Structure 1
Amino acid sequence: MTQPSRTPTQITDPTGRTVAANVRRVREARGLSTYELARKLKDAGRPVSPSALAKIERGERRVDVGDLMALAVALNISPSGLLLPVDTEPLADVEITGSRTVRALDAWEWIDGQGPLHDPPAGVRAAYEARMTYRLHGRPHWLVDLEDQEEGGTEGRNRAARLMRAAGIERVEGTNRYRLPKRDESDG
């Protein structure tokens, strides 16, 4: 009696598809074959065969947390660089598994521990408390302290400054005025 042919697993969740695409993108950008990446993973203590890597890249094999961390080490990137799309504009929508579609900038700030993914509560005090609670439970206290003491204060690192940079809005040096980016004649 013959066995029915097995349909390959297809990863359908947005994060799984993104991880698959990012593993291939970074591996190719580093000029590594699947065999070379498999050797690096073995050296990192997480052996994954070249055929398993090919299945990961095709979205036919799930990546567990241990695989994700080992891939990030072997590819010399942050784990967040595998979890979120990097080829998108800051204000473009990205899908987050188990959540809704959010702006890429919001997703990156969340995954890098800079702030909550959900919309902040109304009111300055409530928003501040939500952000601090997020940082308290999602980051080591010493890292929060170091970030707060960074040279140059918070200007240029806060959410409003990031959104303005993402939209191309520039501050006119020496003033409290801002200017919109110049429009290209081809934009119409």
Structure 2
Amino acid sequence: MGENNEPASTGQIAADRLRSIRTGQQMSLRQLAERVNALGYPLSLAMINRIELGLRRMDVDDLTALAAALGVAPAALLMDLDVRSQSDIVSATGVQGDAEAMWDWLTGQKPPPGYDDDDEVFRHIRFGLPFWIRAGAAQMTWQDFLSAGVEPEERARWIADRLGNDIAPGPEGAK
């Protein structure tokens, strides 16, 4: 936590998590630097030390290379994973929610905590997920419409508006 009981920034959480995971694996700064450099990403021992101390910001490239070198998902650096209950409240810069909702968001499973109406969920599906997952969601939605008896053109238009024209089934899929 930051001063005055304010939530820590995501950058500070990531720096703390980096140090915690590294030391938990009994890995020295030198060993981590060697692993990161073996991945083809130049990050010196001194730079990693500065990140852990909060003297250097960790950019997205640093985050992904460090996570790979540690053998964890990048999301593992973005949230305190030592919370004891999925209902404990955790935060990231600008977002707060229970631990389970935050993890679901950080791992791409759900929209950010608090974003749960249908339009927000479909926005998450359309812009926050890979094509193959969006296509599966469109197929499931299409099946729901088929069972509800909604007209094919209306189904296709609704899905295209929410999930994108590139995955909306055409009316010929109405059979």
Match status 1:131 vs 2:124: no
State TM-score, norm by structure 1: 0.63
**What is the alpha-carbon distance in structure 2 between the residues aligned to residue 113 and residue 14 of structure 1?**
20
1:141 correspondence with 2:137: no
- Which letter does structure 2 place at the counterpart of 1:43? A
Question: What is the letter of the counterpart of residue 78 of structure 1?
Answer: A
Tell me the secondary structure at the aligned position of residue 13 of structure 2. helix
- Are residues 21 and 137 of structure 1, via their aligned partners in 2, closer, same or farther at CA, if it must alter by over 3 Å? same
Q: Where do 5+ consecutive residues of structure 2 fail to align?
A: 1-6, 140-175
Deviation at 1:28, TM superposition (A): 1.4
Q: 1:37 aligns with which of 16, 26, 32?
A: 32
Structure 2 CA distance for aligned equivalents of residues 120 and 55 of structure 1: 35
Q: How many residues align?
A: 132
Alignment of 1:1-150 (within 5 A): 14-88=9-83, 89-97=85-93, 99-120=94-115, 127-144=117-134
Alpha-carbon spacing, 1:29–1:142, altered in 2? closer, same or farther (3 Å): same
Q: How far is the alpha carbon of 1:132 from its aligned partner? A: 2.5
Indicate the structure with greater helix content: 2
For the aligned residue pairs, the C-alpha RMSD in angstroms reads: 2.3
Q: Is the 8 A contact 2:89 2:97 kept in 1?
A: yes
Q: Give the CA deviation at 1:145.
A: 5.1
Q: CA deviation at 1:146?
A: 6.2
Gaps spanning 5+ residues in structure 1: where? 1-11, 122-126, 150-188
Q: Identity of aligned pairs, percent? A: 31
Counterpart of 1:5 in structure 2 is none
CA–CA distance in structure 1, aligned partners of residues 69 and 102 of structure 2? 24
- Which amino acid is the alignment partner of residue 111 of structure 2? P
> What TM-score comes out, normalization by structure 2 length?
0.67
